[in-house]
Chains A and B, each alone.
Chain A
Amino acid sequence: MLKLIGSRLATAVPSLIGVVIVTFLLTRVLPGDTAAYFAGPAATPQAIAEIRTKLGLDKPLPAQFLDYVTALAKGDLGSSLSTGQPVATEIRNRLPASAELTLAGLILALLIAIPYGIAAAVKQGTWVDHSCRILTTAGVSLPVFFTGLLLVYVFYFKLGWAPAPLGRLDAFASPPPEVTGFYLIDSLIAGDFETFRASAAQLVIPAVTLAIFALAPIARMTRASMLAVLSSEFVRTARAAGLTPYKVIIVYAFRNAMLPVITTLGMVFSFLLGANVLVEKVFAWPGIGSYAVEALITSDFAPVQGFVLAMAVLYIVLNLLIDIAYGVIDPRARSEA
């Protein structure tokens, strides 16, 4: 197992180097002049030139790259111009917000999608199967910002059940003392149930929005992989041996059907972090997705580079975890490594 982890990590190094180089170059060829943008509407060419010098943007590209890599080696991701903060701090502060939302959405999606997918496979061709198909098709076809706005309109504006879409907490509450950065967990640690309730209430609609989106691939994959397994011989044997349907479906069939589901899960998780961008915009959620988009619009290099780097690291970690999970679920995967 350790050997597997080691070899996985070793292959990650070239990818990381590639990511650093590519993001650096890509942000430099983006249209738009950072200095002109931040010099403000009333800037003279001298003012723009002064800002360019201050930002080090007048140096040749290799020199800029060297500056960037040297700083990176010290853990300094640079400073964002649009928020005025060091990128590393921003990402550290914003990642928990995105992660809390994404995990909540993913767990919600799993709770619905897996039983649904199993049911659809077991009762293939019945109304359960058809409704699963309709739901998953609707889930992937509705853009998240639309679902989000629709839910806000119905549950906040019309019915008044949901709190105002003002981010992680309403404007008059203060966040719990930071331990994990997850408000739900931190407020419980602090024993502050009012904040727990408030942040849970804020989380519901955005998490549902994400869950609707994430539901589709998980439910479809569960269904397809269950169908394949259910038609295999060992299931037929188990059935013939007179095992209970629960034992056949959950213990034998589902465990074997899990591998592709786990793979999908990893994909969906990383995908959700991206889809977050729109959800974060709709719900004023202070996550990293909206941060990166804002930075891109203003040609603010440092956060874009930092964001891509953070995401690359996250992907690598995620893939590693999935590989390990494979090994746990299926002994064959272990020996193949």
Chain B
Amino acid sequence: MGDVFMNRREFLQSASATAVATGTGVAAPAVFSPARAQGRAETLLIVSESGPNNLDIQGVGTNVPGYEANWNCYDRLITHPMKEVNGTPYYDRDKFEGQLAEDMKVGDMSVTFKLKSKAVFQDGTPVTAKDVKWSLDRAVTVGGFPTFQMKAGSLEKPEQFVVVDDRTIRVDFIRKDRLTIPDLAVIVPCVYNSELVKKNATEKDPWGLEYTKQNTVGSGPYKVTKWTPGTEVIFERNDAWVGGPMPKMKRIVWRMVPSAGNRRALLERGDADISYDLPNKDFVELKESGKLTIISTPYSNGVQYMGMNVTKPPFDNIKVRQAMAYAMPYQKIMDAVLFGLSKPMFGAPAGHQTEVAWPQPTKYVTDLAKAKALLAEAGYPNGFETDISFDLGFAGVNEPICVLVQENLAQLGIKTTINKIPGANWRTELNKKVLPMYTNVFSGWLDYPEYFFFWCYHGNNSVFNTMSYKSQAMDTFIDGARLAAATGDKAAYDTDIRGMVDLAFADVPRIPLFQPYVNVAMQKNVTGYEYWFHRRLNYASLAKG
């Protein structure tokens, strides 16, 4: 047994030694027949912690893995081309290319799409403008998340979607909004085989949500051929796909492996091809071992922050909030919790000019003396008592952050209790807006500063303004930036964005900590990984060998 209870370092050294000895990339013991070996070469095996609960993003309560299934089985009118960021293909936020559409004409108050003539659904029926209208109508009508996401781009009513002829569809704007066209390229406005869904709809379920939950009826690069919830999803390539270059992998097998240790073992042994939800520490160690390709990309438009409820004492006092911003153990969090796998959102140089970008670092650094002075000024020289809450669903990162914060605050005389909230309960608690202090992440699909600020800082008090922050000046900046973006007034836009960022940092209702990374680990022979705003895998570009 002595050999088994090695310390972690020895474990890793011997682990890499075995893996070198056995070789990577081939699963020799698992394959018996040549037919299976052949299947192995044409199949990509993905392992992740959890799987989809619904194959349709427009369904009730579809989870994030469900978005991945939907993304890969359906087409949208338009999508983004790739550009390169730090050597990784990265979706180009500002450019669009046709997926189902071969042509897009943007007018003053509408945009018109011409569909590709060869576009067919997976059952062979052609994709028509009627299908597109039906699908967009569905997105703005079914309610819940899809409808909400459409609204973010001012896509609200079925009347906005007009069938011009069989292959032409026009989307009318209800107001000028720079986010309307980007919002047509997110996952939600995907195009369904409307006749097929209607055939399987019932009176109680006119949009056929029950049917599309189990069946993928799009024109996308893959289709789900087998789905065993909680166990595996099997995708087969759609050879008639016209939305882009023909995908390389014939089959994708997505297996759910709940234990992170086993996912790592599967990768290191070469049995799994790709995985993307391992603890940060594992990613760092895998990166150092050099046996796998590890790609880390910052979440676009995403920040992990420490939020404070500004409606109640002591955090209604701006001096207390600033003291908190000086009390955060920023660097310790970067080193001990994230192992460097995140982008710091603190410590910008004193003379640094605020950029027209988001996220960007604050000028705060850990300075307990300054924090103490600010607390004394605010009338809390001996500190106070409060709670720090976090979501247990992401305890791996959240718990150590809260413990480190607790330690620092104790030095200021602030007594804190750490409040662990189960994943199922987290959003309910957060939405009540009563937690005094908590850590959380927000990231937006649409990568625009005003989009982030509209949800997180605007006085209309959306669910993501978890601090209940209200400021007349802030609202003026945000509304100004949205208007300037819609009308193309760059000077006004830049001023407003700088204004809102400066105000957010001065008032600090929430303290930015870091920009998390999306970490993906894959075998050396796997290529074609692309970073998308939804942060999930795009199967069509992946290749092996």
Which residue of chain B lies nearest to A55 when distances are taken between CB atoms in the complex?
B60
Rounded to whole angstroms, the CA-CA distance of A39 and B147 in the bound complex is 12
Chain A residues 1 to 36 lying within 8 A of chain B, measured CB to CB, are 30-34, 36
Rounded to whole angstroms, the CA-CA distance of A291 and B230 in the bound complex is 8
A197 proximal to B (CB < 8 A): yes
Rounded to whole angstroms, the CA-CA distance of A165 and B47 in the bound complex is 11
Chain B residues 132 to 151 lying within 8 A of chain A, measured CB to CB, are 143-145, 147-149
Check A194 against B33 for contact (C-beta < 8 Å): yes
Quick one: given A32-B428, A33-B428, A150-B4, are A83 and B15 in contact (CB under 8 Å)?
no
Check A284 against B259 for contact (C-beta < 8 Å): yes
In the complex, how many residues of chain B place their beta carbon closer than 8 angstroms to a beta carbon of chain A? 62
Quick one: given A47-B148, A170-B30, are A282 and B262 in contact (CB under 8 Å)?
yes
B400 proximal to A (CB < 8 A): no
Quick one: given A40-B61, A44-B463, are A172 and B256 in contact (CB under 8 Å)?
no
Which residue of chain B lies nearest to A193 when distances are taken between CB atoms in the complex?
B32
Check B231 against A286 for contact (C-beta < 8 Å): yes
Point out the residues of chain B lying under 8 angstroms from A291, CB to CB. 230
Point out the residues of chain B lying under 8 angstroms from A334, CB to CB. none
B423 proximal to A (CB < 8 A): yes
A60 to chain B, nearest CB (A): 19
Rounded to whole angstroms, the CA-CA distance of A281 and B54 in the bound complex is 21
Interface of B (DSSP majority class): mixed
Point out the residues of chain B lying under 8 angstroms from A163, CB to CB. 29-30
B156 proximal to A (CB < 8 A): no
Rounded to whole angstroms, the CA-CA distance of A39 and B62 in the bound complex is 8
Which residue of chain A lies nearest to B52 when distances are taken between CB atoms in the complex?
A84
A164 proximal to B (CB < 8 A): yes
Total A-B residue pairs with C-beta atoms closer than 8 Å?
Answer: 176
Point out the residues of chain A lying under 8 angstroms from B272, CB to CB. 164
Point out the residues of chain B lying under 8 angstroms from A153, CB to CB. 4, 265
Check B22 against A160 for contact (C-beta < 8 Å): yes
Point out the residues of chain A lying under 8 angstroms from B50, CB to CB. 294
B213 proximal to A (CB < 8 A): yes
Rounded to whole angstroms, the CA-CA distance of A80 and B230 in the bound complex is 11
B427 proximal to A (CB < 8 A): yes
B33 to chain A, nearest CB (A): 7
Quick one: given A31-B424, A31-B425, A47-B148, are A156 and B30 in contact (CB under 8 Å)?
no
Check B61 against A38 for contact (C-beta < 8 Å): yes
Rounded to whole angstroms, the CA-CA distance of A94 and B111 in the bound complex is 49
Point out the residues of chain B lying under 8 angstroms from A157, CB to CB. 15, 18, 265, 268-269
Which residue of chain B lies nearest to A37 when distances are taken between CB atoms in the complex?
B424
Check A31 against B422 for contact (C-beta < 8 Å): yes
Which one of B37-45, B288-296, B329-337, B352-360 contacts A? B37-45
Check B261 against A149 for contact (C-beta < 8 Å): yes
Check B229 against A164 for contact (C-beta < 8 Å): no
Check A84 against B262 for contact (C-beta < 8 Å): no
Output the residue of B40, B43, B213, B265 with the most chain A CB within 10 A. Answer: B265
Quick one: given A47-B148, A54-B60, A164-B27, are A172 and B36 in contact (CB under 8 Å)?
yes
A25 to chain B, nearest CB (A): 18
Check B53 against A82 for contact (C-beta < 8 Å): yes
Check B265 against A197 for contact (C-beta < 8 Å): no
A251 proximal to B (CB < 8 A): no
Rounded to whole angstroms, the CA-CA distance of A39 and B143 in the bound complex is 10
Point out the residues of chain A lying under 8 angstroms from B47, CB to CB. 166
Partner of B424, one of A32, A43, A283: A32
A221 proximal to B (CB < 8 A): no
Point out the residues of chain A lying under 8 angstroms from B15, CB to CB. 157-158
Chain B residues 409 to 452 lying within 8 A of chain A, measured CB to CB, are 422-425, 427-428, 431
B214 proximal to A (CB < 8 A): yes
Rounded to whole angstroms, the CA-CA distance of A291 and B259 in the bound complex is 15
A298 proximal to B (CB < 8 A): yes
Output the residue of B61, B148, B229, B425 with the most chain A CB within 10 A. Answer: B61
B237 proximal to A (CB < 8 A): no
B interface vs A, CB < 8 Å?
4, 14-15, 18, 22, 27, 29-33, 36, 39-40, 43, 45, 47, 50, 52-54, 59-63, 143-145, 147-149, 213-214, 228-232, 253, 255-259, 261-262, 265-266, 268-269, 271-272, 422-425, 427-428, 431, 462-463
Given contacts A80-B53, A164-B30, A166-B255, 18 further A-B pairs with CB under 8 A are A36-B428, A37-B428, A45-B431, A51-B144, A84-B53, A84-B229, A149-B259, A154-B4, A157-B15, A157-B18, A170-B27, A281-B258, A281-B259, A282-B262, A284-B257, A284-B258, A286-B230, A290-B258
A interface vs B, CB < 8 Å?
30-34, 36-45, 47-48, 50-51, 54-55, 80-85, 90, 93, 149-150, 152-154, 156-158, 160-161, 163-167, 170-173, 194, 197-198, 281-284, 286, 290-291, 294, 297-299
